[in-house]
Amino acid sequence: YGSYQTFSTELSSGWKKNRFHANATVGYNRSDGHRKNMDAEQLNGYGKAGYDLSSNWSSFLDLNISNTKTSNPGTVSSPIHDNDADITRGMTSLVVENEYERTSGALKFFYNFGSHTINDGYAEGMQPKTYRFRSNDRMLGFTATQSYAFFPGNTTTAGFDYKRLGGKAWNRYPDKTDNIPLADIRLNTVAGYMNVQQRVLNNKLTLNGGIRWDHHEINGSEWIPQAGVNYTASATTVLKAVVSKGYRNPTIREMYMFPPQNPDLKPERLINYEISVLQALMNNKINLELNMYYIKGDNLIQVEMVDGKPRNVNTGKIENKGMEIAASYQATSHLRFSANYSLLDMTYKIRTAPEHKLYFGGNYIHNRWSIGSGIQYIGNLYTQTSPQPVKESFTLWNARINYRILKGMTFFLRGENLLGQSYEIMAGYPMPGTTVFGGIRLHF
């Protein structure tokens, strides 16, 4: 329980006997939100049951389902009334896996579905809408993958994916006689891929290369290659380099199903070049990592605010270069410090992406106590990119405490934005001030 009448609870259990095993989780979360008309409520559940067919073959069936109800108050300057959403989504899959000395793989059948009821709301001075947006979507298919070691140091993986996506959307009126269909679509995607990894020079050098062919019923075919090299110079030094192509078709939901849908979305494409160095010092008490990258692409899909409402859009070209530095220090068996910094140079500005991120934190664990705290600085984060760029900088201090009262009973307390900073990640949507959340975990 915490600030803004926030309440969260979760119950989980597991069972295993001989070759059978099962586990289940159910959770409930709700909050009034830090603004008027920003309440949210979610009920979710997950279940999994498995059976080991033999020492080499196993299987499981799982189901994940949730219902979420949210309200969007709009921006501070352009509030919206009754912009409410009631969304139910689920995922289920059946998986059969195999693992031998030289080969391993899996066959997975899956089915995802969703149902959405959304009130678009109305702005100040306007009349409430007489209809509700409705949509149903689904995706079914299977994936098959198998890896094989043809000779020492080799891992060759091949696979195939098939997906059938579909759904419909409509505006529903109370008497149902004037319902307006907005979308009713079904399409197929297929993909095949192969990846080869080879270790040489007494496993010091690892070479990796792969290719994926992706075919989309509307957007056509695309070849997606990637290659990498990993060199272990010593027991404490590792060098890595990767070049890869990124490609993603917009989903049915992003294009047609419910706000912020946009049927005119194009596929995302980018090329990524990356090199990194990992170094350990003082008998691995200190670990350092340096990563540098360059990304160039186009048609990045993001959610932008259009007329006070979110909408999926292709933001055009993307060209980023930057670096990331991370360090950790195990000061004692109980005390650990960590820090990281990232620099992002964007030729074309991206909303919610900061140019600078700096973090320093520490964790202390001893007997019944676990204490952690960290300070993060965010510099030049773009809350909007058009019509004029707007950026913010702020510092956040978070902390958490866990105390084991009894065996199987732990008290926890978490505080966020303890400095009470006023800031926005999305223009017009102020983030919460100081929030505190606490509770008890029971294990039995």
- Summarised one tens digit per residue, pLDDT across range 54-101 is 999 999 999 999 999 999 999 998 899 999 999 999 999 999 999 999
What ranges make up the beta strands (E) of 250-316? Answer: 268-281, 286-298, 301-306, 309-314
How far does Cα 165 stand from its chain's mean position? 21
Helix ranges (DSSP H) in 45-182: none
Contact (CB, 8 A) for 227 and 198? no
147-164: per-residue pLDDT in tens?
Answer: 999 999 999 999 999 999
Residue type, 74: G
Q: What separation in angstroms does the CA of 432 have from each of 96, 359, 419? A: 45, 20, 11
Q: Which residues of 381-418 are buried (b: 16+ CB within 10 A; e: fewer)?
A: bbbbbeeeeebbebebbbbbbbeeeeeeebeeebbbbb
Could you write out the DSSP letters of every residue in 39-55?
-EEEEEEEEEEEEE-SS
Residue 363 belongs to a domain with what CATH number?
A: 2.40.170.20
* Cα atoms found within 13 Å of the Cα of residue 348, Cβ hemisphere only: 12
Token pair listed for 323: 């670096």
Q: Helix (H, G, I), strand (E, B), or coil: what is residue 15? A: strand
349-397: per-residue pLDDT in tens?
Answer: 998 999 999 999 999 999 999 999 999 999 999 998 878 899 999 999 9
Token pair listed for 185: 């679509």
Phi, psi of 284 (to 5 degrees): 70, 15
CA angle 399, 403, 404 (to 5 degrees): 150
| Domain count for the chain | 1
Residue 182 zone, left/alpha/beta (φ > 0; ψ -120 to 50; rest): alpha
Helix ranges (DSSP H) in 233-388: 252
275-306: per-residue pLDDT in tens?
Answer: 999 999 999 999 999 999 999 999 988 877 67
Residues 6+ apart with CB under 8 A from 175: none
Full domain range(s) for residue 19: 3-442
CA–CA distance, 306 with 312 (Å, rounded to integer): 9
CA–CA distance, 444 with 442 (Å, rounded to integer): 7
Contact (CB, 8 A) for 267 and 245? no
Residue 346 pLDDT more than 80? yes
Q: What is the pLDDT of residue 308?
A: 66
